[in-house]
Chains A and B, each alone.
Chain A
Amino acid sequence: MVEMNTAQADELKEKLAQMSPEELREFQKKQCVFCQIIGGRVASKKVYSDDKCTAILDINPANPGHIVLLPNEHYSIMPLVPPEILQHLFKVAKALAHASLKALEAQGTNIFVANGIAAGQKAQHFMLHIIPRKEGDDLKLNIPERAVKDSDLKQIMDRLKPAVLKSLGAGTEGKEEKPEEKKEEAQPEETKEEPQKKEEEKAEEENEVEEIKEALGEEEEAPKVVDVEETEEPEEKEEAPVDIEDEVKAALGASKPEKKSKKKKAKKKSKKKAKKKEEPEEKEEQPEEEPEKEEQQEEKEEGGDVTLDDISGLLTGGM
């Protein structure tokens, strides 16, 4: 990597500030060492390459034979990699893992991806690590285990599950267990595709109003459970999504398309709006969550000792 002095760094910062997103992307590509390696302008030990990807030996290997697999096109983070490229990368990764077992007499392999600086991503070019392992090597890639309360897991589940189902579809769940809910979910989303754009414009103006509404919506469901701890929760919850997006962007340093997040925000908000109009008394976030929440509340009433403070602190990452 090229080191620069402070004057050069300031100059660079100014330049970057004036660039359009497209220019910025081009600039990133030009600056990217890995793009230069793929293009053959920087020397490397290539162990495999095809039209979509290139595998090289890591110059700072965790173990002898540590392979770095790169898409030939420059993508800064995994979510930006198109599905067909991603599929190809992991197929090649499987084959490379197999090759390193055979060629290097490894006893195992780790396939490792770091998404974001907080996860240990060091370069602006998305990559897969394939690390050959032998028993007794001093590599510490163990995944620690922590005992966590069921109530905490449930909280994570309630946030995560709707997001996963939204991106993956209902899977076999929709068919077998909750056919009615699936229909409910599908209908409002379809109808909202069109008014979404308008919502987007409105969303910016009415941002403050919406946030208050959101806060109210969440307060409505929260205080049913615990007293003192709960009153702090809605504030944090309400702040979390806003901060998170900024922080993800900052953490990843990526040109994550802004439209996407805005759309999602608008979507969420429009969902809530529509919901409030239809059922002003219930004020649930999303239709699919309804039965789960009821369960959750029941459990909480029984269990009592919910440490929401702990978990919300963890969720917001001490922000």
Chain B
Amino acid sequence: MAKCEFCDLIKGKMNKIYEDDLIYVMLAPKPSAIGHVLVLPKKHIMIIEQLQDYEVGEIFEKVNKISTAVFESLGAQGTNIIVQNGVAAGQSHSHMMIHVIARRENDGLDFNWQPKQLSEEEMSTIELKLKEFTKNIGAFEEKPPAPVEMEKKVETIKEDKDSAENYLIKQLERIP
């Protein structure tokens, strides 16, 4: 894997606000506003799809708290939370990150888009195409229990089976 600028920043505890096993929270070195926070998964991944579902849930629950902290401590009037997935979406670093940006009126930032005009037919086509792929959504990856326990359980079950089989075989042998 090529060298990652942000993995190095995490190692160097650059602009660190908070850190746990899952995420590293830092002030953006080149902020777009007074209060531009980057939330990075600690492990090096590029896009959100590489995160487990439960990790996504946990991370964004924390992002919400960080966003609230930005409100309260920096006197922001709003926050934007932005994820750029892929170069086409504006991603400029190979490490996935979530931007939490404090917003104030007339702060010079503009994330508003010009709405595109689509015909009813185009919209319906998109709807059908998307539905094809969204019908399987629902089974989310759960946080796995600690691996050590799993192994133990498997072993014990095996032993039980063996002993049960032995018992049955012994019984069979006795029958005649």
* Residues in A lying within 8 Å of B, measured CB to CB: 45-48, 50, 55, 57, 60-65, 67, 78-79, 81, 83, 86-100, 102-104, 106-121, 131, 133-135, 137-148, 152-153, 156-157, 159-168, 171-173, 240-241, 243-244, 247-248, 251-252, 264, 311, 314-318
- Closest chain A CB from B80 CB (angstroms): 5
Contact indicator B111/A247 (Cβ below 8 Å): no
Instruction: Please name all residues of chain A whose beta carbon is closer than 8 Å to the beta carbon of B77 when the two chains form the complex.
Output: 116-119, 247-248, 251-252, 317
Instruction: Please name all residues of chain B whose beta carbon is closer than 8 Å to the beta carbon of A47 when the two chains form the complex.
Output: 127, 130-131, 134
Closest A-chain residue to B122, C-beta based? A64
Instruction: Please name 12 further chain A to chain B contacts, defined as beta carbons within 8 Å, in addition to the given A64-B116, A98-B133, A160-B17, sorted by A numbering.
Output: A57-B127, A94-B49, A94-B56, A111-B48, A120-B80, A120-B112, A135-B88, A143-B84, A162-B73, A247-B75, A252-B78, A311-B34
Closest B-chain residue to A166, C-beta based? B69
Give A81 to B64 CA distance when docked, in angstroms: 9
Contact indicator A134/B88 (Cβ below 8 Å): yes
Check B150 for interface membership: any CB of A closer than 8 A. Answer: no
Name 5 A/B residue pairs within 8 A (Cβ), A-sorted: A99-B130, A112-B111, A131-B89, A152-B34, A167-B66
Contact indicator A64/B126 (Cβ below 8 Å): yes
Instruction: Please name all residues of chain A whose beta carbon is closer than 8 Å to the beta carbon of B115 when the two chains form the complex.
Output: 60-62
Check B129 for interface membership: any CB of A closer than 8 A. Answer: yes
Check B147 for interface membership: any CB of A closer than 8 A. Answer: no
Interface residues on B, range: 35 or more
Contact indicator B130/A103 (Cβ below 8 Å): yes
Contact indicator B106/A95 (Cβ below 8 Å): no
Closest B-chain residue to A47, C-beta based? B130
Instruction: Please name all residues of chain A whose beta carbon is closer than 8 Å to the beta carbon of B129 when the two chains form the complex.
Output: 103-104
Check B137 for interface membership: any CB of A closer than 8 A. Answer: yes
Closest A-chain residue to B139, C-beta based? A95
Give A48 to B134 CA distance when docked, in angstroms: 6
Contact indicator B104/A118 (Cβ below 8 Å): yes
Contact indicator B82/A112 (Cβ below 8 Å): yes
Partner of B116 from the list A63, A251, A264 (CB cut-off 8 Å) is A63
Report B10-50 CB contacts with A as 1/0, cut-off 8 Å. 00000111111100010111111011010000000000110
Residues of chain B from 59 to 112 with CB closer than 8 A to chain A in the complex: 59-62, 64-91, 99, 101, 103-107, 109-112
Give A145 to B92 CA distance when docked, in angstroms: 12
Contact indicator A160/B85 (Cβ below 8 Å): no
Contact indicator B105/A118 (Cβ below 8 Å): yes
Give A141 to B111 CA distance when docked, in angstroms: 6
Give A92 to B134 CA distance when docked, in angstroms: 9
Contact indicator A115/B57 (Cβ below 8 Å): no
Contact indicator A153/B126 (Cβ below 8 Å): no
Give A144 to B79 CA distance when docked, in angstroms: 15
Contact indicator B80/A240 (Cβ below 8 Å): no
Check B159 for interface membership: any CB of A closer than 8 A. Answer: no
Instruction: Please name all residues of chain A whose beta carbon is closer than 8 Å to the beta carbon of B56 when the two chains form the complex.
Output: 87, 90-91, 93-94
With A141-B90, A315-B75 already in contact, the answer to whether A96 and B137 are too (CB < 8 A) is yes
Kindly name the residue among A89, A96, A144 whose own CB sees the greatest number of chain B CB atoms within 10 A: A144
- Closest chain A CB from B133 CB (angstroms): 4
Contact indicator B89/A133 (Cβ below 8 Å): yes
Give A145 to B90 CA distance when docked, in angstroms: 13
Closest B-chain residue to A177, C-beta based? B13
Partner of A67 from the list B15, B66, B112, B130 (CB cut-off 8 Å) is B130
Check B132 for interface membership: any CB of A closer than 8 A. Answer: yes
Instruction: Please name all residues of chain B whose beta carbon is closer than 8 Å to the beta carbon of A171 when the two chains form the complex.
Output: 18-20
Contact indicator A168/B86 (Cβ below 8 Å): no
Check B51 for interface membership: any CB of A closer than 8 A. Answer: yes
Contact indicator B130/A65 (Cβ below 8 Å): yes
Contact indicator A115/B67 (Cβ below 8 Å): yes
Partner of B101 from the list A48, A108, A143, A264 (CB cut-off 8 Å) is A143
Check B123 for interface membership: any CB of A closer than 8 A. Answer: yes
Instruction: Please name all residues of chain B whose beta carbon is closer than 8 Å to the beta carbon of A112 when the two chains form the complex.
Output: 80-83, 111
Contact indicator A163/B137 (Cβ below 8 Å): no
Give A213 to B47 CA distance when docked, in angstroms: 49
Give A42 to B76 CA distance when docked, in angstroms: 34
Closest A-chain residue to B53, C-beta based? A91
Partner of B37 from the list A50, A107, A135, A160 (CB cut-off 8 Å) is A160
Closest A-chain residue to B109, C-beta based? A144
Partner of B34 from the list A113, A140, A240, A315 (CB cut-off 8 Å) is A315
